[in-house]
Each structure stands twice: as C-alpha cells, then as structure tokens.
Amino acid sequence: MNLLRLVGLAVSLSMAISTRADGDIKDWLMKMNDAAMELDYQGTFIYVQESQIEVMRVVHQSSAGVLRERIYSLNGSPREIVRDAEQVWCYLPDRNMGVHEYRQVSDNNFPHILPKRVSKLEKNYRISMGRKDRIADRTAVQIWIFPRDQYRYGHELWVDEETGLLLKASLMGIQGDAIEQYMFTDIRIGQAVSEQDLEPATRKDKLVWFGVNRAEGKGAVEDSGHWAATRVPDGFMLSRKMRRMSPMRQKMVEHLVYSDGLTAVSIFVDKMADAETEPISGPNSIGAVSAYGRVVDGHQVTVVGEVPEATAKMIAMSVKRSE
C-alpha cells in the first residue's frame, strides 16, 4: 500500500544513456504528482513481491477536486478498496467482514507516491533521468531516485510521457534487488468514469463491519499524546501526531508519523491491559514493509514503514515518553 544495489542501478543507468529522456527532473516529478490527483483513469496493474503476483483493477475519478477511487482484485481472494478524500472502505467478502476508517494521513500509494514539494528530496536522494520505453503500450520516461544512505530504499519510476501518470514503480533494496513492483498492463486515461464503475461488487449490508463512526469525531485528536522518537535518520521529521481509533480493536492509540518527504514511518503506541496477549517484540517484515515492536513503560510500541529493518529498529529503540 511501499521503499523508494546502488551498483546495479548505476550500471543499468549507464547502459541507458543513449536513449535518455529530456526535461527537468523536478518538472517531471511535479507532473507525475499532479496527474495522479487530476486525471480520470481506469486500468489493470500487477503487483509483484517475491513469488507473489497480484492482479488489480483501479478506477480513479477526479471531479471538481473531489477524488474517488475503487481498487479490486482480479485473482486470489476477492477484496476491494473504495475510498474518497475522507474515508476508506475495505471489503473482504471471503471473511464476511469489512473495515471502515477515516483517512488520517496522506497517501503514498501507487500511482501517487510523491509529495508536491520535491525540492527537499535532494538532501537525502539523488534523482536522475533515465531512458524512454513502452509501458502498457504508452511511451514512458524513466526516473531514478537513489538514497544517499542505508536508511531508506530507492525507486525506479516510469512516467507516461503524455500525461505524467505513473505507469510503473519499483522499490529497490539496499543490495540492488527489486523488493516490490507495480506496473500497469493496460490503462485508459482521460475517459469519463461512471458511478457504476465506482460501486463495490459486494453490498455493505452483507458484511460485518469494523471501524470508526462519524460520531467519534473521525477517530482522531490532533497533536495529542506524550511520545516521541529521539533518533531518526537524517531528513525524517515529525509530520503528524494524533490519538486515533484502531478500527479492529476499537480503542484509542497514539499515532506518530515521521517522513523525509518521500518515505513515511508510522509509530503506534498502545497501552497494554493486564490480560493482554503476549506483546509484539523484535523485527518483522513483509516485502518492503518493516516492523519492529517493543514494550516501553507498559505500552506496546510498534514502528511500521517501507524502510529497511535496521531503520525500523533504530526508530523503535528511541521511542520514549516526551517531557
């Protein structure tokens, strides 16, 4: 939902010089960001993580600045995500359940993964133009984003030359391996999206729902709590701090978000009850997502983000109550 070797990337880049794309890198990144926010599109994309391959369909509408989107699986267990600017509904009909939540932080999801303020990225990333190629039968421009340290991942991006929409994204590990990839196999850009295209296949009343209701104030209280990370990689800054409702457990937790402008890391702090099950301790990872848990002063602290495992551990070990 996603980050974002160096020897391998450098070799690949040097081989592509003869077909380099033209244009200013910052202009391309801004164009890509705006395209994801302003264009209507429908398409099929594949998600590859290790031996796992998922095929997804996305319908995206932008009308008068109001965004609506539906993403649903075409293989494996049926699942759907329907979202707008404020809310997200996750449909899991095979488990007879759904999860509803108010959106607490900005998206960094494919095909919208970059912030509008790209100038700050260069302190922690080297950004280079690559070559041109064909993605989903469209001409695409390649952009490399190399991390300047070992605390974050790199990205290989392919941007539609005509519209700026991101057509392919690869998250590159420290050793130069592709940790995960997204790529459109077909896409229609600029065609009107109908209401029917945005409707979920499963009716809401057919599922048991978990989540936060509107009466709970969207589940978040801004700038609350007394926790902080005292050690983060250079460039990461606290971008959001709140108390929010955990949709599955129906209890309030502290949620802090640290970001370097491209990569975001979340810290969740949950007060443990006496009868609580065994706490989460140590590292865990799924694809590009690393997590690290520990108990601090009777609270479960969990750090989650698309960062190397060492980064998640470093941040988790520094979390403490702020004065």
* pLDDT tens digits along 138-170: 999 999 999 999 999 999 999 999 999 999 999
Establish if 1 belongs to a structural domain: no
Number of domains in the chain: 2
* Residue-wise burial string across 63-74, b where 16 or more C-beta atoms lie within 10 A, e elsewhere: eeeebbbbbbee
pTM of the complete model? 0.82
**Which residues, 6+ apart, have CB-to-CB distance to 182 below 8 Å?**
45, 46, 47, 48, 110, 111, 168, 169, 170
Which strand (E) or helix (H) includes residue 10?
helix 6-15
- 66-106 pLDDT tens trace: 889 999 999 999 999 999 888 899 999 999 999 888 765 44
- CATH number at 277 reads 3.30.200.100
- Structural domain span for residue 70: 6-206
Establish if 18 belongs to a structural domain: yes
Mark whether 175 and 220 lie in a shared domain.
Answer: no
Phi, psi of 102 (to 5 degrees): -85, 140
State the average pLDDT over residues 159-187: 93
Q: d(Cα 74, Cα 44) in Å, to the nearest integer?
A: 9
- Sort 286 into a burial class: Cβ within 10 Å, 0-12 / 13-18 / 19+: exposed
Opening angle at CA 308, ends 125 and 323, nearest 5: 90
- CATH number at 27 reads 2.50.20.10
Mark whether 102 and 235 lie in a shared domain.
Answer: no
Mark whether 225 and 171 lie in a shared domain.
Answer: no
Mark whether 193 and 233 lie in a shared domain.
Answer: no
